[in-house]
Amino acid sequence: MKLSRLALAVALAPITAFAANETPRFDEQLKLPNVVVTASRMAEAASDSSASISVFTRADIDRLRPASVPELLTHVPGVQVANYGGRGANYGLYIRGTSTAQTLVLIDGVRVGSATIGGASLQFLSVDQIERVEVLRGSRSAIYGADAMGGVVQIFTRRSQGEGLTPYVRLAAGTDNARETSLGLSGGNALTRFSLNASLEETDGFDRTHASFPSDADDDGYRNRSLSMSLSHRLSDKVEAGLNVLDQRGKTEIDNPFGRWDDTLYASFPAEPYDEFTISSTSVYLDAQLTNAWSSRLELGHSEDKQENFDKLFPGSSVNNTYRDSASWLNTLHLDDAHSLLIGLDYLNDKVGSSNEYDQTSRWNQAAIVQHQFHGETFSTELGMRHDQNEQFGHENTFNAALSLPVNADHQVILSYAEGFRVPTFADLYWPDEGWTKGNPDLEPERSKSYELKWRARLAAETRLEASIYRTDFRDLLAYVSDPITWVGSTQNLGVARINGFEAHLEHDLFGWQANLGVSIIDPRNRETGGILPNRAKRTLSLDLDRHFGAVGVGASWRAVSRSFNDGANTQEIAGHGVLDLRTSWQASDELGFDLKLANVLDKDYSRLLYSYEGQQRGYQEAPFSVMLGLTWTPSL
């Protein structure tokens, strides 16, 4: 049976001061690892969702101690991350073989990212500002619309720890003169909860590229200042209002193995580029239990992705800013114990502020959603549809369906189908003609159809397995294509591609060791050329092992990735690699804890991206062996 609000209230009974017949606070729902929000845009038990979804709570983040959100995502089965040079560097995110731009990123329910280049700047998000991360694998366009072709990553900022006052201070230092300082205060009472947090991250970095120009041989530093705030107030037993704010600002030095290009001579020169960035999101919401069967949520959001590119050796700068305003009205109707209905309206307005002269600088999208869920004793179903109307590309309908068959109390089989689409970015369409690259205003949206067969099993009291086989077919896939002679390029609709895949996630407790094993095998093909899609490894493996010995915790993570190719012609190979991380923690007292992270213990020297230019291999390097030692103080007030 679907996890009702009453069931949620019972689950929250140990930590909530409200009676079981009251609507549980959303902040308290985010503390539960077995509850998911992203799959259906409402809280439900993870076991009741048809989606493949991974959840990282604040406790998981504190245990794994990732340096960044992209690093955290490497612990998800079926997810590949290409990080082009350490903390603060650009990255590529490939969920089940799809591209970065085909993954939707939300912060507290607000769509974030760049409307010019596509994708979101996850490398700039401080993990100390995060309460929870949910990673949904597979298309969810019927719920979220464009960009959710490959999956959805939703990030929830820090929330209150409950009534009273709870402060914390964290200090950390490590290799490459890395320093982290974080502090926060949360609390409240039965009606009002709040959380205020601030952090500063700095590192001198390392040289991110192979040898190219002398100016490229310096270390590449990174600095990030971040603030977050959440506030919620209970207007009555049935109505809650809230505000969430996140703001990240800083500077990242970047390397360009090609140097700087001259628009006339088509030759490269030394360069020392760096970016200044601002990533922010704001959301306000009103949650109401209007009747026993009808709950409603109204949410308004605004996000900004602002980047200004500089070069120390050249004057001037270039700007690419995105401003997004959004509104959502979601209504959940519990028709009876077995049937529920989601009805919603979405609105999104993208605006671009850029030093490039685009022919168009704004567009809106409005949508209607309806999804029905049935949870019965012998089977469960899900059937949904979304209708989008885009200012530039007109109307688009997407559908999803799922059938869940419980074999017995411990085994479940799920069949699902989902459609997806993505509209081209402003840069894809309108990038000005610079002689070597230009936009293509004749592009069509990408479209996809996905099929999945999933098996969920509880093999023993402490052993859980989820395995999937899936296929995704793409039409009008967008990719940048350049002429091999003139090097003049633009984004094109390539035609058709398909991804076949197998994915498995095993959780097992063995002699006190908690093990999480993720395996993914994919075959991502351009069906017209037969080539493997760029930057997609066919095989990935992740293994996390953790155990506590009283107040001391120890753990290890192993990530292995097979070879891939940098280009669609499959001529530039990226070697496979394996990375080992070790970690330990010591809770010295109720108020003071220490943690130590050893990253890339084997000091694996590998590159994520290679170019062959003038007889040299040029590209980006991952971070070498590094150490980070931290302490966290949570004084009692």
Residues 213 and 230: beta-carbon distance below 8 Å = no
CA torsion angle 195 155 304 125 (round to 10) = 80
What CATH number is given to the structural domain containing 122? 2.40.170.20
CA 112 – CA 130 distance, rounded (Å): 15
Tell me the β-bridge partners of 585: 553, 595
**Which pLDDT score, from 0 to 100, does residue 433 have?**
82
Among residues 441, 340, 450, 497, which one has the least CA distance to residue 7?
340
Enter the tokens of residue 561.
């990735």
Q: Burial letters for 439-470: b for 16+ Cβ neighbours within 10 Å, e otherwise?
A: bbeebebbbbbbebebebbbeeeeebbbbbeb
Is 176 strand, coil or helix?
A: helix
CA 66 – CA 386 distance, rounded (Å): 36
Return the beta strands (E) in 58-129 as ranges.
79-83, 91-95, 103-107, 110-112
Tell me the β-bridge partners of 377: none
Enter the tokens of residue 573.
């190979």
**Which pLDDT score, from 0 to 100, does residue 614 have?**
56
CA 139 – CA 152 distance, rounded (Å): 8
Enter the tokens of residue 354.
């850029």
Within the chain, how many helices (H) and strands (E) appear?
A: 6, 39
Enter the tokens of residue 326.
């959004």
Residues 30 and 156: beta-carbon distance below 8 Å = yes
Range of the domain at 577: 5-633
**Where does 391-499 have alpha helices with state H?**
426-430
491-542 pLDDT, tens digit per residue, is: 888 878 999 999 999 999 988 899 999 999 999 998 888 899 989 999 999 9
Among residues 392, 424, 346, 388, which one has the least CA distance to residue 99?
424
Is 146 strand, coil or helix?
A: coil
Which residue type is seen at 200?
A: L
**Which pLDDT score, from 0 to 100, does residue 117 have?**
85
Cα Rg for the chain, rounded, in angstroms? 24
**First-to-last C-alpha distance (Å) of the chain:** 42
228-263 pLDDT, tens digit per residue, is: 999 999 999 999 999 999 999 999 988 766 655 554
Count of domains for the chain: 1
Question: How many Cα neighbours within 13 Å face the side chain of 343?
Answer: 8
User: Tokens 């704001």 correspond to what residue?
Assistant: 282
Residue 208 Cα to chain centre, angstroms: 23
Model confidence, pTM: 0.92
CA 26 – CA 42 distance, rounded (Å): 10
Among residues 61, 6, 3, which one has the least CA distance to residue 31?
61
Q: What angle do CA 98, 67, 204 make, to 5 degrees?
A: 115
CA 411 – CA 426 distance, rounded (Å): 46
34 class by beta-carbon count within 10 Å (0-12 exposed, 13-18 middle, 19+ buried): exposed
Q: What angle do CA 8, 12, 18 make, to 5 degrees?
A: 100
Among residues 272, 302, 271, 273, which one has the least CA distance to residue 285?
302
CA 453 – CA 463 distance, rounded (Å): 21
**Where does 387-465 have alpha helices with state H?**
426-430
**Which pLDDT score, from 0 to 100, does residue 215 have?**
62
Ranges in the chain, pLDDT < 70: 1-24, 210-216, 256-269, 484-487, 607-618
Q: Taking the CB of residue 609, how many other CB atoms lie within 10 A of it? A: 21
